[in-house]
Amino acid sequence: MKRGFLNSAKSKAIRLGSDAGYGSSSTIGAPSMPTPDLSSSGTETVILPANAAPDEPVTVCFFWPGSKEVLMKMPGYPKPLRKVSEPTFRVGEAGSKGLGLFATRALSQGELIIDEQPLLISVRGVPVAVPAMLNQEQTTKYQLREFEKYLEVVLKKMRPADREAFMSLANSHLTDGSGPIAGRIRTNSLGLDGLCPAMTGPMAQYSSVPHYISRMNNSCSPNTTSNFHDASISYTVYAARDIAEGEELTLSYSDVWDTAANRQQTFKPYGFVCACDACRDPISSDRRRAKIRAFVPSVRMWAVNRSLPDDWLINKCLEQIALLEQEKLEGEVALPCRD
């Protein structure tokens, strides 16, 4: 997931990128103040769905104006969460990757594992008037400090159990000036866009933080795929291939089509070096992934070149399936290279 963003219902859920956009918000706008007034930043906090019963999940939304209306007008809103037949996962004991999610039973390819509403959907920054004498690093820290004050107000709107769940999440941003709330958002959030038609650029994208999906560790050959659904304001996680009982459930924090070296750069702000099979054998894996991405152009070539027999295409398809299985990328869409 270099974290492509979500454009519509059923858009792919990808982690936001731990460094994406934070501390880069505009320096114009409302002056900072000790207890921020959310409306002065142009934002609002809403709890959705509005009429949820106390035992039904809700999402605290720290939104730019207009997003609430976009969500509420989605066809089918508010759609109930999809039912998962029997328990599918548990949060495992802390290991070398911290906590993680594990399958409690064998799961079949395509099976629904989780459907959950995020605890929080948040803007990625607020306009802050920064004192002129600050250098770049001081400016970023100042903006993060101001943002944290807004987030404190927002978090007070969470139900106590949800707030506790949020504050128990991992935080890999302990030394860069992020406060405890922004740090957890940066460590765990999935990107969300398409909810803010009046804005463009990084600030039009939201960070959303689910509870259980936040516990999923990275693999560059993830065994799940995830999507956001506007009408239920929820993320689904499906098995990308058959998963054995006890196996760790993983998702990808980076673009799996990126080279192993570039993916490791993406993981730096999360504070880990990925040691999945693909990252342990980067030369062979990069080569196979590049071949997988060359598949669509080769189909196009077959379509326009009448001298290529059908067998040529069938062999390409068989080779593609074998490569996808070798790289364990059954759930990923192989986008052709743009370069």
Question: Which residues make up the interface to ligand SAM (CB under 6 A)?
Answer: 97-100, 169-170, 172, 187-188, 214-215, 217-218, 270-272, 274
- Could you tell me the smallest distance in angstroms from the CB atom of residue 129 to ligand SAM? 32
Listed as own residue / partner, the contacts of 234-237 with beta carbons closer than 8 Å and 24 or more positions apart are 234/81, 234/115, 234/116, 234/117, 234/118, 235/13, 235/114, 235/115, 235/116, 235/117, 235/118, 235/190, 235/208, 235/210, 236/82, 236/112, 236/114, 236/115, 237/112, 237/113, 237/114, 237/115, 237/213
- Could you tell me the smallest distance in angstroms from the CB atom of residue 92 to ligand SAM? 9
Tell me whether residue 274 or residue 324 sits nearer to ligand SAM (CB atom). Answer: 274
Tell me whether residue 100 or residue 179 sits nearer to ligand SAM (CB atom). Answer: 100
Is residue 49 reached through a cis peptide bond, with omega within 30 degrees of 0 on the bond before it?
yes
Tell me whether residue 47 or residue 275 sits nearer to ligand SAM (CB atom). Answer: 275
Helices (H), 156-250: 160-167, 180-188
- Could you tell me the smallest distance in angstroms from the CB atom of residue 95 to ligand SAM? 9
Q: How far apart are CA 329 and CA 121, in angstroms?
A: 29
Is residue 78 reached through a cis peptide bond, with omega within 30 degrees of 0 on the bond before it?
yes
- Could you tell me the smallest distance in angstroms from the CB atom of residue 270 to ligand SAM? 4
Tell me whether residue 64 or residue 166 sits nearer to ligand SAM (CB atom). Answer: 166
- Could you tell me the smallest distance in angstroms from the CB atom of residue 215 to ligand SAM? 5
Tell me whether residue 172 or residue 298 sits nearer to ligand SAM (CB atom). Answer: 172
